[in-house]
Amino acid sequence: MKVLVLGSGGREHAIAWRLRQSPSVSQVYVAPGNPGCAGVAECLTLDSTTPEGFLALARRTGIDLTVVGPEAPLVDGVVDLFVSKGLLIFGPAQTAAQLEGSKIFSKRFMERAGIPTARFISTDDLSSAKEALGQFTYPVVVKADGLAAGKGVVICPDRQTAEATLDGMFSGALVGAAGAKVVIEEYLTGEEVSFIGLSDGERVLPLEPSQDHKTINENDEGPNTGGMGAYSDSRIITAEQREFIMREVMDRTVQHMKAEGTPFKGFLYAGLMMTARGPMVLEFNVRLGDPETQALLHRMDCDFGALLYEAARGQVRPELLKFKADPSVCVVLAAHGYPGKVRTGDAISGIEQAEQTGATVFHAGTKMAGGKLVTSGGRVLGVTRSGKTLQEAIDNTYRACDQISFDGMQIRRDIGRKGLKRWGPQTMKAGG
């Protein structure tokens, strides 16, 4: 079959890369894609990035299945339009995509469904938001209601910072229109875990767990980014925790969405905090994570195309999903200035040498200019590799990272370190 992937980042490169290896897939297209995508798929030019633009492209190209990478087209209703025209597409409908499109919708849904999450207050008024701060201890979390490219969450250590953050949200200075409404919620402590499931609207098929690293600096310091790296290792959660998350978060979400008339079909991403009270949901996303996708798909050992095709038709098939035991690591190389004002146009070198070490380098913010590969966004590359142990996977990945360079390159050197601390001996194998 011919598969179209919508998007242009590292996640979409990884999806296209894995689909290219699927026996059920004859041709992969990406729209609009990036220079990395072009190495594994045919990149297509879009007349517009509206649902109508995507539909026209799919029809013109004779696509059998469309896979939506980023959240914005889902929130804009691309799935609804495709379905209404009889085209097969994998992702949630617009009403279900509100789980990510609106933090307020998501928190209120969790409250109704009894899904474990932090205590919160939502408001669309600056004065009432500042007044609500009195109901929380510090640090406190302020979240923009709308889509903010991973930058709409601010952890505020004191009231002065919280009030300044609220001023920035409501003025539009921080995240534009996304901050016109906010959620204020209690700060949860523990380790974060990304848990992603594949849903057909009634059932959820869990992928392997992963852990993102959100802040720009090592030791989880500095401002939040879209993610500076991730690793996937089956031991990130215990069997008991996995059972709880499936029962109380994933299955409960899908069943309540169905009961409320907004069935969820697509990738359901639960960002969890593993607290002393048990796993609690920080946020829902309605697509694969980034950079978690790079680490997860590097471990995948099955026909990804067939898996998505059957789920899009309305039936997840557990027998089609398989992962390698080896853990994997993705380290993001970011541009100068990220996550603030990003400098672009810096020449990139060393990707070929990195891949000669055995790594896969996924492109996120790159473009061709004057015959050279240059930076074009905040997160530039996702260097990914697996290993027999987590330590080996980490060493392999950083060895590849050291082959790549561009002016102003930012890199965290502690991706996966929490797992090493948790499991003790660095030679311990995944699964044992």
Condensed to tens digits (0 to 9), the pLDDT of residues 224-266 reads 899 999 999 999 999 999 999 999 999 999 999 999 999 999 9
Collapse the DSSP code of 426 into the 3-class scheme (helix H, G, I; strand E, B; otherwise coil) and give the result.
coil
pLDDT tens for residues 147-160?
Answer: 987 778 999 999 99
Q: Which residue bears the tokens 């102003």?
A: 408
| Residue at a domain's end among 180, 203, 226 | 180
What contacts 261, CB < 8 A, 6 or more positions away? 95
What pLDDT was estimated at residue 432? 34
Same-domain pairing of 75 and 161: no
Identity of residue 223: P
- Tell me: do 174 and 25 sit in the same domain: no
pLDDT band at 422; cut points 50, 70, 90: confident
- Where residue 424 falls among pLDDT bands split at 50, 70, 90? low
Whether residue 45 is contained in a domain is answered as: yes
Query: 271 and 215, same structural domain?
Result: yes
% of the chain surpassing 70 pLDDT:
98
Asked whether residue 98 is domain-assigned, the answer is no
**What pLDDT is stored for residue 246 in this prediction?**
98
Number of Cβ within 10 Å of residue 157's Cβ equals 11
**Rounded to an integer, what distance in angstroms lies between the CA atom of residue 240 and that of residue 405?**
43
Q: Alpha-carbon distance 74 to 8, whole Å?
A: 15
Q: Give a yes or no: residue 42 inside a domain.
A: yes
**Per-residue pLDDT tens for 287-300?**
999 999 999 999 99
Tens-digit pLDDT profile for residues 326-336: 999 999 999 99
**pTM recorded for the entire structure:** 0.95
Q: Which of 367, 396, 395, 399 is nearest to 381 (CA)?
A: 367
CA distance 342 to 325: 37
Mean pLDDT calculated for residue range 186-193: 96
Query: Is the predicted pLDDT of residue 429 greater than 60, yes or no?
Result: no
Q: Please compute the mean of the pLDDT values over residues 383-393 and round it to a whole number.
A: 97
67 with 146, same domain: the answer is no
Would residue 375 count as lying in a domain? yes
In a domain, residue 97? The reply is: no
pLDDT at 281 over 70: yes
Query: Residue range 402-413: average pLDDT?
Result: 98
First to last CA, the chain: 38
- Same domain for 278 and 144? no
Mean pLDDT for the chain? 95
- Establish how many alpha carbons lie within 13 A of residue 17's alpha carbon, considering only the half-sphere containing its beta carbon: 26
**Number of compact structural domains in the chain:** 3
Residues 33 and 129 occupy one common structural domain: no
Look at residue 177 in the predicted model and tell me its pLDDT.
93
- Say whether both 14 and 154 belong to one domain: no
| DSSP bridge pairs for 65 | 3
**Residues 353, 248: contact at Cβ < 8 Å?**
no
Residue 148 is predicted with a pLDDT of 86
Shared domain check, 254 and 402: yes
| Count of positions (residues) in the chain | 432
Same domain, yes or no: 86 and 135: no
Residue 329, phi then psi, degrees to nearest 5: -135, 135
The H-or-E segment that residue 207 falls in is none
Give per-residue pLDDT as tens, 35-55. Answer: 999 999 999 999 899 999 999
Cα(4)–Cα(65) distance, rounded to whole angstroms?
6
* Tokens of residue 378, six digits: 């905040």
> What is the pLDDT confidence band of residue 423, given thresholds at 50, 70 and 90?
confident
Residues 134, 25 share a domain: no
Phi-psi region of 190 (alpha: psi -120 to 50; beta: other; left: phi over 0): left
CATH at 282: 3.30.470.20
pLDDT over threshold 70, residue 428: no
Integer Cα distance of 428 and 422 in angstroms: 11
Asked if residue 352 is part of any domain, the answer here is yes
Residue finishing a domain among 136, 159, 180: 180
The CATH number linked to 42 is 3.40.50.20
- Cα distance between residue 201 and residue 258, in whole Å: 7
Whether residues 301 and 368 share a domain: the answer is: yes
Query: Is 369 inside any structural domain?
Result: yes
Q: What is the mean pLDDT of the segment spanning 373-394?
A: 97
Range of the domain at 167: 125-180
Residue 200 in any domain: the answer is yes
In a shared domain, residues 199 and 155? no
| Pick from 135, 110, 102: nearest CA to 121 | 135
